[in-house]
Structure 1
C-alpha cells in the first residue's frame, strides 16, 4: 500500500482490555516520534505495526534513535499498513493536515495529532474527522469517547496546568504575567541558527515575546472554564541552554491566602495522576524524562505565584499523546507512562 491509499482494518479494534492496540506512527524519525517509540515499545497493551518515514525507509529505528539498539528490531517503512487501531501523527505543523488531505483514513482508526493543525476549535475538522483538544486535566471525559485528538502544545500544556484551577473558579480577574524557558528539543530536530549547539550552549534568549502561537489555545481553554475571560496573558518565552524540560513562572493578582490557593490546586488535580501540587521548591530534574507536571503555589501580598514544570517531549508531546490513547481505549490512564526521572 502506498501513502495515498485508504488505511483500513481487517479486524475489530480492541475495546480496552481486549487484544493489543495496533499502533502506527507517521514521522517516526523526529524527536516526538522517537519518544513515541520509546514509550510504545514498552507499553503493555500496544503493538507497533509500522513506523513511517520516507527518508529512512528500510533502516532500523535504532539507526536513528541509537538508544533503542537492543530494544527493538523495527524498521522504518515508506508504506502505511492497514492493520492499525490508532495513528500517531508526529509531523511538523501544517504537515498533519496535508497528510490527512492526501490519505483516506478509515473511520475506525483513531488519530492522535501532535502538531498544532487541529487544536483550535475553528480548525478542528477535516473531512469526516473532528478533533477534540487532548488535555486530560481539562477534557478527560470528552477524550474517553473521542475518535480523534489534537494533542496540546508543550508551552500550552505547562501554562494551562498552571492556570486552569483559577479559571475553574472564575478567579482570573486580572492580567497574567508569565516567563517560561524551554529546552532545545522544543525547536524540533531540524537545525536552525538558534538550535545549533555552538549558539545555544551557554546562551539564553527571548523569542516571540507576547506573540507565541500557543497563546491561542491557552486562551481557548481558559474561556472554556471561565466564560468571558478577556484579560491579557503576557507571555515571555526563553530558549534555554539545556536539552529538555520547561519551567514556567506566572503570577496574577489574587485575594486568596496561600492555604486557600494550595487547596484549590490540590482539589482540582486530585483525580489526575500526572499533575502534582506543592508549596515546596521544585526543579526540572524532578520531572525530566517523565509524564509528570509539578506545580508550586505561593502567595506574596496580593499576588498568587505559580511555577509549573514538565518535560516538553513527554507531558508536552508524546507522553501526553499516549495518555490520551490510554483514555480513548479504556486503559489505565498511566499505562506505559510510569517513567523514571533523571533526578539522582
Structure 2
C-alpha cells in the first residue's frame, strides 16, 4: 500500500514513518510539508536516515496519489483535506481533533466554525472496533483521552464520578519550541496546566457517555520533564462498592483478547516506543473508590501507533502489523 503523510515534519509524522518501516505492506511514498518542500525527510528526522530517502513535497490535494493518507496536521487544517482525499477514494486516518467530536461541541471547545463536517468513527479500537472496520475515514483520539478512557472504561458505567490526573512528556506539546516547553521551564520541574478546561476533557466525557456512564468527569494534566509518555491516574468513585477481586475480574473480562492492553503495573518506561497501554487497579478500603492507573507512549498508542492500528483495521490487516516494537526498558 502506498501511504501519504500530510504534515510529516512533526513528531507524529516522524513516528508514522518509523512504524511504517516495519509494516509488511505499507510504504510511505508521500511526505508533505509546506515549509520544507524539497528538503530530505531525514534532515528533520535524522533517526530515519538510511530508513527513507523521501523528500518533503507540497502537493495540492487533488495531486496526492495513495491508498491511505494520514492527516498529521493541526486542528482546523485537517478539514481542508479530508473531503478531497475521500473523493479520490483514499482511505484517511485523521490525527487532528477535527472529527472527534460532534460539530456543535467541536465548535464550542475549539472556538472555530467547522466548514467540512461529517460524522466519523472514533478510532479507539478497544471500544469501537466494529465501527472502524471497513470505514473509509477514522478520527484518531487524543493522547490524553486514550490513556484516560482505557484506564476507566470497564468501570465507567458504574461510576458516579471520574477524576483523571495525567502526567505527560514534553513531546505532547509538538515539535515547535515555545516558552512552555523551554528546557529551563521543564527541566527539574513539574507543573499543572489548564487545570479544569483542557480541550481533551470533551472527548473523555463523550466516551464515558458512550460506555453508559452518567458520571461527572473531571481532568487535570501536568507536564513532566520527560520526552515521552502519559501516566494517568483515574479516581473512579462508585455508588455501589466493589471488591478487589471483582474489579480485577471485570478488567480481565473487558480486555480479554486485546493485544495492546496489558494488565500490569504501569510505568512510562515500560511502554516507551510501543503501542501498549498498561493498566492496573486498586480498590480502596470500603470499595467505593477505585484507583486505575494507565501508561501509554503519547506518540505511539496516543497518536501514530493507534493511527496505524486503525489503518490495519480498515484495510483488513492484522492489528499488530508494524506495531511489534518492544518497549525500551531501561
Pick from 289, 292, 295 the counterpart of residue 276 of structure 2: 292
Local SS of the residue matching 1:76: coil
2:198 equivalent in structure 1? 212
Alpha-carbon displacement from aligned partner over 1:240-274 (angstroms, at most 9, x marks no partner): 11111000111223411111111111111112110
Structure 1 pair 77/136, CA: closer, same or farther in 2 (3 Å)?
same
Local SS of the residue matching 2:98: coil
1:87: how far off? Answer: 0.8
2:183 equivalent in structure 1? 197
Q: For 2:97 and 2:147, locate their aligned partners in 1 and report how far apart those are by CA, in whole Å.
A: 15
1:306: how far off? Answer: 0.5
Pick from 72, 90, 93 the counterpart of residue 90 of structure 1: 72
1:38 equivalent in structure 2? 18
Q: Conserved in 1, the CA contact under 8 Å of 2:230 and 2:298?
A: yes
1:248 and 2:237 correspond: no
Return 22-31 or 90-99, whichever deviates more.
Answer: 90-99
Pick from 115, 129, 132 the counterpart of residue 96 of structure 2: 115
1:282: how far off? Answer: 2.8
Local SS of the residue matching 2:226: coil
Local SS of the residue matching 2:206: helix
Local SS of the residue matching 2:132: helix
Q: For 1:145 and 1:135, locate their aligned partners in 2 and report how far apart those are by CA, in whole Å.
A: 15
1:15 equivalent in structure 2? none
Q: Conserved in 1, the CA contact under 8 Å of 2:80 and 2:116?
A: no
2:158 equivalent in structure 1? 171
Q: Which runs of 5+ in 2 are unaligned?
A: 107-113
Return 110-119 or 248-257, whichever deviates more.
Answer: 248-257
Alpha-carbon displacement from aligned partner over 1:53-96 (angstroms, at most 9, x marks no partner): 12111111100100011111111111254431111000112211
Q: For 1:334 and 1:263, locate their aligned partners in 2 and report how far apart those are by CA, in whole Å.
A: 25
Return 261-270 or 326-335, whichever deviates more.
Answer: 261-270
CA RMSD of superposed structures (Å):
1.8
Q: For 2:134 and 2:151, locate their aligned partners in 1 and report how far apart those are by CA, in whole Å.
A: 26
Q: For 1:288 and 1:244, locate their aligned partners in 2 and report how far apart those are by CA, in whole Å.
A: 7
Alpha-carbon displacement from aligned partner over 1:294-340 (angstroms, at most 9, x marks no partner): 00111111211110100000000000000000000000000000112
What TM-score comes out, normalization by structure 2 length? Answer: 0.91
Q: For 1:128 and 1:180, locate their aligned partners in 2 and report how far apart those are by CA, in whole Å.
A: 30
1:273 and 2:259 correspond: yes
Q: For 1:104 and 1:145, locate their aligned partners in 2 and report how far apart those are by CA, in whole Å.
A: 17
1:154 equivalent in structure 2? 143
Q: Conserved in 1, the CA contact under 8 Å of 2:99 and 2:118?
A: no
Local SS of the residue matching 1:337: coil
Q: For 1:205 and 1:121, locate their aligned partners in 2 and report how far apart those are by CA, in whole Å.
A: 31
1:156: how far off? Answer: 0.5
2:314 equivalent in structure 1? 328
Q: For 1:128 and 1:176, locate their aligned partners in 2 and report how far apart those are by CA, in whole Å.
A: 30
1:126: how far off? Answer: 6.9
Q: For 2:214 and 2:135, locate their aligned partners in 1 and report how far apart those are by CA, in whole Å.
A: 29
Q: For 2:327 and 2:85, locate their aligned partners in 1 and report how far apart those are by CA, in whole Å.
A: 39
Alpha-carbon displacement from aligned partner over 1:118-156 (angstroms, at most 9, x marks no partner): 101336997585421100011001101211011000000
**What are the residue-to-residue correspondences of 1:175-190 with 2, within 5 Å?**
175-190=161-176
1:24 equivalent in structure 2? 4
1:231: how far off? Answer: 2.7
